[in-house]
Amino acid sequence: MPVEFLGIAATSDGSETTARSTEAFDRDYTLRLGRAHEEHGWDRVLFAYGSGSPDPAPGAAFLATKLDRLQILLAHRPNVSSPTFAAKTFATLDQISQGRLTVHFITGGNDHEQQREGDFLTKDQRYDRTREYIRIVKQAWTSREPFDHEGEYYRFNDFVADVFPVQQPRPGVSFGGSSEAAYAAGGAEADIYCLWGEPLAETAAQIERVKQAAAAAGRQETPRIQVAFRPIIAPTEELAWEKAHRTVERINARKAGGELVRRRGSGGSGAGAPENTGSQRLVAIAEAGERYDRALWTPTAAATGGAGNSNALVGTPETVAQALLDYYDLGVDILSARGYHLLNDAIDFGRYVIPIVREEVAKRDAEREAERARKADAAERDRQQLIAVQA
């Protein structure tokens, strides 16, 4: 299975290490960053969601009309709209982009951030609601007949959309979270299950939990797995480690200056212990050690309180590519990466890391295919021999 690469669609140039130099929605920067991804081998970019951030849906529509190939992963929080309204927005976007949309359903990992837009449910209730919401969106995308719905969180009668996605039967559903409620909801409904980058052993354990949850929901197939990292690459190992230490110093300096408090709400960000399990896991892993496996480095996660995708992979492009291949070998299908200088790092990673990973994945896939063919031949020979003996 070919591997896919997910980058970030930002509407301004700020990151944990750098204050933004533009407006929150900078049209030119949004396009420049999207174009850098499209021209450097990425498959898709994530438009994230934050309570006060520019709305990602029109941002995604803008990029889709300007670029030809880049696919969009649109983050969406169920608390901000009705599911039928959202389904039409997504279908329209899939039409605008000619079938390049996947929707990332966000349950919300932080109560305070959810309450900013009027959502006062508990996290477990939110996961229940997300599950009901995704089911309705799927039905609205596919049903040509009017339907009623009476559930725990939504009730309506006689809805039928007049706009349908280009992708048939429907666009992909992406989902993230590391709590038991997340595995249950995502295992049941997701096509893509997203994890934040953890060491190989912990990632393998999470993949297993997702598989179990999918089986418990009666599914034959398992969601595709996506894992996210913050690569820090340089031409030599030494330069990469210097860059990594500079990165953490910069994050800590900005934190000390009070510049990093109000972030997207998916982690701690220095404002007390994180509420969501995914961030708690990142903090615990960082407390247990700085370095794991081939290139995983946790001080970037520790410095941000496990705020979302925050574990780094440090080294030369070759080292980082090999580290990513370790995850591919675990069963990861989609590799998500974002640097600390969004634009330059998207270009460098696309130029120097993606080609190595793609080439190695193609080799591994060809070897697996040859092995499958060898086994099938051997089984066929055994069968023929058995027939000959019986005759």
Q: What does the binding site for ligand FMN look like in residue numbers (CB under 6 A)?
A: 48-49, 75, 106-109, 176-179, 182, 194, 196, 228, 264-266, 276-278
Distance CA 244, CA 300 (A): 8
Q: What is the CA radius of gyration of the chain?
A: 22
Nearer to ligand FMN, 213 or 240 (CB): 213
The distance of closest approach from Cβ of residue 144 to ligand FMN in the complex, given in angstroms and rounded to an integer, is: 31
Q: Give the C-alpha separation, 3 to 357, whole Å.
A: 8
Q: Is residue 87 within 8 Å of residue 140, measured between CB atoms?
A: yes
**DSSP letter, residue 40:** T
Instruction: Classify the phi-psi angles of 265: left when phi > 0, otherwise alpha if psi is within -120 to 50, otherwise beta.
Output: left
What minimum distance in Å lies between the beta carbon of 276 and ligand FMN?
Answer: 3
Nearer to ligand FMN, 81 or 142 (CB): 81
Nearest distance from C-beta of residue 173 to ligand FMN, angstroms: 13
Q: Which of 242, 227, 177 is nearest to 357 (CA)?
A: 227
Residue 357: phi and psi, rounded to 5, are -65, -45
Please state the closest distance from residue 119 (CB atom) to ligand FMN, in A.
11
- Of 80 and 96, CB closest to ligand FMN: 80
20 or 243, CB closer to ligand FMN? Answer: 20
| CB closer to ligand FMN, 278 vs 317 | 278
**Per-residue b/e over 17-26, b at no fewer than 16 CB within 10 Å?**
beeeeeeeeb
Q: How far is the CB of 332 from ligand FMN (least distance, A)?
A: 13
How far from 336 is each of 3, 230, 348, CA to CA, in Å?
11, 9, 15
| Angle, helix 123-142 to helix 83-96, in steps of 10 degrees | 50
Task: Please identify, using beta-carbon distances, which residue of 48 and 72 lies nearer to ligand FMN.
Answer: 48
Instruction: Return d(Cα 261, Cα 254) in angstroms, integer.
Output: 10
DSSP helix/strand/coil, 140? helix
Report, in Å, the least distance between residue 308 CB and ligand FMN. 6
* Distance of alpha carbon 344 from alpha carbon 34, whole angstroms: 12
CB of 281 to ligand FMN, least distance (A): 8
| CB-nearer residue toward ligand FMN: 101 or 240 | 101
What residue type is assigned to position 161 of the chain? A
Could you identify the residue written with the tokens 């591994």? 364
**Closer Cβ to ligand FMN, 335 or 357, answer by number:** 335
**Beta-ladder partners of 75:** 104
Residue closer to ligand FMN, measured from CB, 49 or 349: 49
How many Å from the N-terminal Cα to the C-terminal Cα in the chain? 41
Q: How far apart are CA 195 and CA 176, in angstroms?
A: 6
The least CB distance from residue 287 to ligand FMN, in Å, is 17
Instruction: Name residue 181's beta-bridge partners.
Output: none
Residue nearest to ligand FMN as judged by C-beta position: 176
Q: If DSSP codes are grouped into helix, strand and coil, which group holds residue 105?
A: strand
**Residue 123 CB, nearest distance to ligand FMN (Å)?**
6
